[in-house]
Amino acid sequence: MTTIGPGRPTPPIELGGDGAASTTAHFVSSTIGLNAEFIRDLEATGAHVSVDPATLSESSRDWWPLAMTWAADNQVGSLAAAVVQPTTVEQVSTILRLCNASGIPVTPAAGRSGVVGGSVPLFGGVILDMCALTGIRSVDQESGIVDVWAGTFGDLMEAELRSAHGLTVGHWPQSVSLSTIGGWLACRGAGQLSNRYGKIEDIVVGLDIVLADGTFVQTGGHARQAAGPDLNQLFVGSEGTLGVITAARLRAWNIPEGEARSAWSFPSFEEGADACRRIVQRGLAPAALRLYDAAEANRSYGTGDVAVLLVFDEGDPVVVDAAAQITEQECAGTIRLDDALVEKWLGHRNDVSALEALISKGFVVDTMELTVSWTDLPNLYVTVRDAIASVPGVLAASAHLSHSYSDGACLYFTFAGKPSENNAIATDALYTACWDAGARAGLECDGSLSHHHGIGINRARFMAEALGDGGTQALHAIKAALDPTGVLNPGKLGLPNPYGPAPFPVTSGADQ
């Protein structure tokens, strides 16, 4: 178990200047304000409504690394006009109905740990803070299903599930103490042990959702069904643009009794990746296979010029033992390292301090996670890494393989650079150039646009490329059908919106 967090959003970095009360918006976009009568209508729903400037600025940002660089100048992307915190589904429904009728943008936000600007209120209006819809609603011990409010923080759900029911959902993002169940679902997130428990789209059984016009919808609810398309999956990954998730049914498992660890070195990243492929394709992979390229392995573990595979497993002892045997057979012929390396990873796996430390020193840093088939993996690894590394100002680009599937894997790239000048224009330019280079190279090598962080503001400009014409048309039609006035989280996922052009990336000549 991890240390329990505060059960509310954790600010990513301190705002500079005079602090949150005098924060300004970095983006030049037309934002929608609220008149006194509308504020009174919101208050009449019974939800908590805040227009306090400090609350507005803290609630208007997330952990998007680029936006963290603006904090020293006391800037956030855009500022909301009100933060509304419902405590019931009825309140969510009334708030959405009100905003929908008046064309007020509504941006759902929860842990605000997203790293792509997803919960930033690009065009002002209302932030719908989901954090007061919290707690486990019920547990079906025999079926292994937990029904949980969407605003529940991950670590709190796990702590209660474990102590009161002897169960775990097994979804362990690095940000487990920073993020909520609704955020996991909305972003299509992945935990670090997803080889055993699945990604969030595999864990979800059913959802409660409120649509833009206030309609309540329940999706899923069965182990499997054949009643048309799977509506759970329509909303998983929709990033607050199609509906607001108020609760979810998730699969849960008995707390594992077996555990196994091992560490291995490979002469090259490609040889390590091939071992991961062979392990997974035998049908029983350990919970985590983390393969670091030489640059990352040496930085974190001082292992020199070799790729390093850390293997961690938990589950039924018989299953864990079988997976360990498969791992040993597929890694035979390479060097086994000290298991203490896995212990080191486990000790640091929820440490989120690195980002703030580097950004405070003026570095541009971020991570880019892409999925690719095993066939295309070697080419994508080298091409994306080198594309980012060749951007002027980039000091380091490296990768690890973080999640494996029978048909491919997620490569998680990390990059860092120093802008040519210490100001926001140079910082934005370097950051944008890194993403243009890396995301485009990934798509050209048949990679996905994202594996688990999602799209938000940051990747919106690549969506049409990633989905193709037909896919883009289909997604736009779904948006138009479910949210015809376009009030839900406008400016995200590359969807059309009625409020104006996306203010990011800043086009040359824009007045910053």
Site residues (vs ligand FAD, CB under 6 A): 62-63, 107-115, 118-119, 130, 150, 173-175, 178-180, 182-184, 186-187, 189-190, 192, 239-240, 244-245, 352, 452-453, 489, 492
Helix (H) or strand (E) holding 340: helix 340-348
Cβ proximity to ligand FAD: between 131 and 320 the closer is 131
Cβ proximity to ligand FAD: between 105 and 447 the closer is 105
* Min CB(244)–ligand FAD separation in Å: 4
Is the torsion defined by CA of 167, 168, 169, 170 positive or negative?
A: negative
* Min CB(264)–ligand FAD separation in Å: 23
Residue with the CB atom nearest ligand FAD in the bound state: 183
Question: What burial class does residue 97 get, using C-beta atoms within 10 Å of its C-beta: 0-12 exposed, 13-18 middle, 19+ buried?
Answer: middle
What sections of 51-114 are H helices per DSSP?
A: 53-59, 65-70, 89-102
Q: Calculate the dihedral angle through the C-alpha atoms of 9, 10, 11, 14, rounding to the nearest 10 degrees.
A: 150
Cβ proximity to ligand FAD: between 66 and 429 the closer is 66
The verdict on whether omega for the bond into residue 173 sits within 30 degrees of 0, i.e. cis, is no
Phi, psi of 350 (to 5 degrees): -115, 15
Is the torsion defined by CA of 210, 215, 220, 226 positive or negative?
A: negative
Cβ proximity to ligand FAD: between 132 and 322 the closer is 132
* Min CB(336)–ligand FAD separation in Å: 27
The full DSSP string for 294-356 is HHHHHHHH---SSEEEEEEEEE-HHHHHHHHHHHHHHHTTSEEE-THHHHHHHHHTT---HHH
* Min CB(374)–ligand FAD separation in Å: 22
Rounded CA separation 158/161 (Å) = 5
* Min CB(390)–ligand FAD separation in Å: 27
Cβ proximity to ligand FAD: between 290 and 326 the closer is 290
* Min CB(58)–ligand FAD separation in Å: 12
Asked if residue 275 lies in contact with residue 330, where contact means CB atoms within 8 angstroms, the answer is yes
Cβ proximity to ligand FAD: between 100 and 489 the closer is 489
Cβ proximity to ligand FAD: between 5 and 419 the closer is 5
* Min CB(234)–ligand FAD separation in Å: 12
* Min CB(305)–ligand FAD separation in Å: 27
Give Cβ neighbours of residue 190 (< 8 Å, ≥ 6 apart): 173, 199, 200, 402, 403, 410, 451, 452
Cβ proximity to ligand FAD: between 125 and 183 the closer is 183
Which one, of 275, 341, 287, 281, lies nearest residue 314 by Cα?
A: 287
Strand partners for 367: 414
